[in-house]
C-alpha cells in the first residue's frame, strides 16, 4: 500500500475535488481552486501529512521541469522493474494509483537536457512536449492518479507523480496479478485485423478483464502499453484525428499490429518467466 490510510485519503480528496466544489472566490497563481470547507480538521491534517493539501498550485518553466526530472532520475529509487510491478498491481485493480508510474518513468528515462524548442503543430516543446510554462494544482494532478487514471498528455504532472511514487515501497506481484497482464495481452493479440483502439476497449470491457476501470481508465492502461511499445503503433502524432477520445500513440494501433511480445518481456520481466 502506498499509505495505510489510503481509502480515507481518497475519500478526503473526493470531498474536495468533486465537480461542483469549485471555489470562484479565490485564485491561486491565477487559477481557480476548490473549496476545502467540507474537510474535517482531521481530514485536512491527514492530507497535509501526506503532502496532499488541496490547492497546492505550483508554477514551473520548461527549464525548471527538465532540470527537476533529470535530478529526480539521478536520485529516485524507482527502476524499470519496480515501475513494471507498479503497473501490474495497478492493472489488477489492487492499487489503481499505481497505474501511472510506468508511463511517467518511461518519459523521464528518455529525457535529455535541452532548451525549449517551439513546435509548428502545437504550443508545447517539440522535443519533450512540456509547455513553456505550467501552472497546476499538484494535488489535483495526483488525485486523478489516485482515481486510477493514467494519461500521456500532461507530462508536467509526471514530476509530482514520480516524486510521490519514489516514496512508495517497491511492490511484489503475485502470480495471479501477472496472469492478469497475460490475459490482457492475449485479448489484445486476439483482435481482428482492422480492430480500432476504441473497439478494443469495448471488447476488453465486455471480457471484464480489468477491475476498477471505466472506459477512460482502460484507455489509460492501453495507452501505457502503446507508449512503452508493447502495443506497436503509428508514432506520427501529426495524424491525430480531430476530437478523438484517444490520442497517439494508442490512436495509431490497429488489430493487425497486435502485441510485440519481445518488448513486453523486456518491459515486464516478471511476465517473461
Ligand atoms: Zn522540451
- Which residue has cell 532540470? 67
- Confidence band (pLDDT; 50, 70, 90) for 78? very high
Other CB atoms within 10 A of residue 58 CB:
16
C-alpha–C-alpha distance, residues 273 and 183, integer Å: 15
Residue 239 has pLDDT above 60, yes or no: no
141-181 pLDDT, tens digit each: 999 999 999 999 999 999 999 999 999 998 999 999 999 99
Q: 2-11, 50-59, 185-194, 230-239: which has the minimum mean pLDDT?
A: 230-239
Left, alpha or beta for 90 (phi > 0: left; psi -120 to 50: alpha)? alpha
For 166, counting Cβ atoms within 10 Å of its Cβ (0-12 exposed, 13-18 middle, 19+ buried), the class is middle
Query: What's the CA-to-centroid distance between 113 and ligand 1, angstroms?
Result: 8
Distances (CA, A) of 129 to 61, 62, 123, 161: 13, 10, 9, 17
Query: What's the CA-to-centroid distance between 132 and ligand 1, angstroms?
Result: 8
In the chain, where the domains are located: 6-165, 175-272
Query: What's the CA-to-centroid distance between 10 and ligand 1, angstroms?
Result: 33
Can you give the pTM of this predicted structure? 0.94
197-209 pLDDT, tens digit each: 999 999 999 999 9
Asked if residues 61 and 27 have their Cβ atoms less than 8 Å apart, the reply is: no
Query: What's the CA-to-centroid distance between 119 and ligand 1, angstroms?
Result: 10
93-142 pLDDT, tens digit each: 999 999 999 999 999 999 999 999 999 888 899 999 999 999 999 999 99
Percentage with pLDDT > 90 across the chain:
82
Average pLDDT over residues 220-241: 82
Query: What's the CA-to-centroid distance between 41 and ligand 1, angstroms?
Result: 41
Amino acid at each position: 500500500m502506498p499509505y495505510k490510510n489510503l481509502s480515507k485519503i481518497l475519500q478526503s480528496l473526493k470531498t474536495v475535488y468533486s465537480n461542483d466544489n469549485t471555489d470562484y472566490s479565490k485564485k491561486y497563481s491565477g487559477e481557480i481552486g476548490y473549496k476545502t470547507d467540507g474537510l474535517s480538521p482531521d481530514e485536512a491534517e491527514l492530507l497535509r501529512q501526506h503532502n496532499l493539501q488541496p490547492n497546492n498550485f505550483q508554477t514551473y518553466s520548461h527549464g525548471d521541469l527538465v532540470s527537476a526530472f533529470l535530478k529526480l532520475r539521478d536520485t529516485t529509487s524507482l527502476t524499470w522493474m519496480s515501475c513494471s510491478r507498479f503497473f501490474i498491481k495497478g492493472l489488477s485493480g489492487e492499487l489503481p494509483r499505481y497505474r501511472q508510474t510506468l508511463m511517467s518513468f518511461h518519459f523521464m528515462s528518455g529525457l535529455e537536457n535541452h532548451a525549449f524548442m517551439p513546435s509548428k503543430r502545437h504550443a508545447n516543446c517539440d522535443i519533450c512536449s512540456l509547455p513553456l510554462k505550467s501552472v497546476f494544482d499538484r494535488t489535483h494532478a495526483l488525485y486523478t492518479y489516485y482515481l486510477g487514471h493514467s494519461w500521456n498528455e500532461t507530462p508536467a504532472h509526471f514530476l509530482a507523480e514520480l516524486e510521490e511514487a519514489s516514496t512508495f515501497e517497491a511492490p511484489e506481484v503475485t502470480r495471479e496479478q501477472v496472469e492478469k497482464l497475460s490475459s490482457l495481452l492475449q485479448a489484445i493479440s486476439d483482435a481482428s485485423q482492422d480492430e480500432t483502439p476504441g473497439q478494443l476497449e469495448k471488447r476488453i470491457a465486455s471480457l471484464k478483464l480489468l477491475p476498477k476501470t471505466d472506459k477512460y481508465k482502460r484507455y489509460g492502461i492501453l495507452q501505457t502499453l502503446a507508449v512503452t511499445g508493447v502495443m506497436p503503433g503509428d508514432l506520427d502524432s501529426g495524424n491525430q484525428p480531430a476530437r478523438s477520445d484517444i490520442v497517439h500513440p494508442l490512436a495509431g494501433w490497429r488489430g493487425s499490429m497486435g502485441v510485440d511480445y519481445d518488448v513486453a518481456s523486456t518491459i515486464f520481466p516478471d511476465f517473461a518467466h
